[in-house]
Structure 1
Amino acid sequence: MDTQKTKEPQYQVIVEAATKRGVETFGLRSSESWHEDPKHLVFRLARYKFVAKMFSGREHVLEVGCGDAFGTRIVQAEVGKLTGIDFDPVFIDDVNARMVDRWKFDAKVHDMLDGPVPGEFDGVYALDVLEHIDPAQEKLFLKNSFAPLGKDGAGIIGLPSLESQPYASPQSKAGHVNCKSAPELKKLMQEYFHNVFVFSMNDEVVHTGFHKMANYVFAIGAGKRD
């Protein structure tokens, strides 16, 4: 069967690529976002871009709670190697089923409450995860998450702000048991790092503005405590 020809020849490579390797698919979570609220996918990918730029040049980075890992490639493009873990086998099965050679990475099932991930990393990040952790277990979760960091490693935690919760969807509220204000997140991260830097985020824009008006907050930790 002849390949369909585009009217502008510079776009022909798109058709040829799709014919050769097929069209890539969304992950489980990203597919639902694209169907129900497409703009939310932009917000989520912007969070990954922020992590990617903060961790650019790192040798081996760990993503905690990768979910369907749809945004993981954005970080992969900036680091030497990436490992992703999630406690839910459904998501890891989905990630591995969609894995392609160009963007291959280690994706495995691991519950951070059971212990640290073996190995050593110079960057660890968790996006939209801490708010799902029972407050009574948050210190165990963070201790295990940051345990494999070397002395020059850095950690990033991103989560919806406490102030944003009156506007959260019913589905989000059902799982959000531990949202925090920016000062609360900074104080918590200071237990694990000597230096903590906090950023606000509204939609896809990261900034240093008034945290009480932010719908998402980031904390970057550097200088790991013993």
Structure 2
Amino acid sequence: MDVIEHIPQTDEQTFIDTVADNLAPDGFAVIGTPNVTMYPYASPWNKERHINNFDQQRLHALLATRFEQVFLFGMTDEVLHTGFDPMCCYILTLACQKK
């Protein structure tokens, strides 16, 4: 949770490979990150540290390189949903069945 947005884009595949390689055969990964659509509203401090921002489609594509099943959820305040992607403040994923 709240790590992948701090990983340079050039290293994101290595990060996901490391996550998958360290899971048990029946393990799963939970990855969460702020939605890139919220970036314009972020503080300067936040923008400086979140160097690799994702939308749901790009995060799904990255996780699908190492997982057969990727479930995407959006969060707005305390509500978890599968609604309109651009309105989500936070993306939460469940990645299962590693390749």
Task: Name the TM tier (shorter chain).
Answer: over 0.9
The equivalences for 1:1-226 within 5 A come to 127-225=1-99
Deviation at 1:144, TM superposition (A): 1.1
Q: What secondary structure does 1:197 align onto?
A: strand
| Amino acid in structure 2 at the alignment position of 1:183 | Q
Counterpart of 2:14, as a letter, is: L
Query: What is the aligned residue count?
Result: 99
Q: What secondary structure, in the 3-state scheme, does the structure 2 residue paired with 1:155 have?
A: strand
Q: Distance in 2 between matches of 1:152 and 1:193?
A: 11
Tell me the CA shift for residue 173 of structure 1.
0.6
Q: Distance in 2 between matches of 1:150 and 1:214?
A: 31
Larger Cα-atom Rg: 1
Q: Aligned equivalents of 2:64 and 2:25: distance in 1?
A: 15
Answer 1 or 2: higher relative contact order, Cα 8 Å, separation at least 6. Answer: 2
Stretches of 4+ moved more than 6 A in 1?
A: none
Calculate the aligned-residue CA RMSD, in Å.
0.8
Q: Which runs of 5+ in 2 are unaligned?
A: none
Supply the AA of the counterpart residue of 1:128: D
Extract unaligned runs of 5+ from structure 1: 1-126
Q: Return the offset for 1:146.
A: 2.0
Residue 157 of structure 1: SS of its match in structure 2? strand
Counterparts of 2:14 and 2:98, CA distance in 1: 16
Secondary structure in structure 2 of the residue aligned to 1:141: helix
Q: Given the two structures, how large is their TM-score scaled by the length of structure 1? A: 0.43
Q: Which amino acid aligns with 1:210?
A: F
Q: 1:109-162 deviations in whole A, cap 9, x for unaligned?
A: xxxxxxxxxxxxxxxxxx111001000001111111221212211011100011
What is the CA–CA distance in structure 1 between the aligned matches of 2:72 and 2:59, rounded to whole Å? 8
Higher strand share: 2
Q: Distance in 2 between matches of 1:206 and 1:170?
A: 27
Cα distance in 1 for partners of 2:15, 2:63 equals: 12
Tell me the SS of whatever aligns to 1:185. helix
Normalising by structure 2, we get a TM-score of: 0.95
How many angstroms apart in 2 are the aligned matches of 1:192 and 1:161?
A: 21
Which amino acid letter does the alignment assign opposite residue 35 of structure 2? S
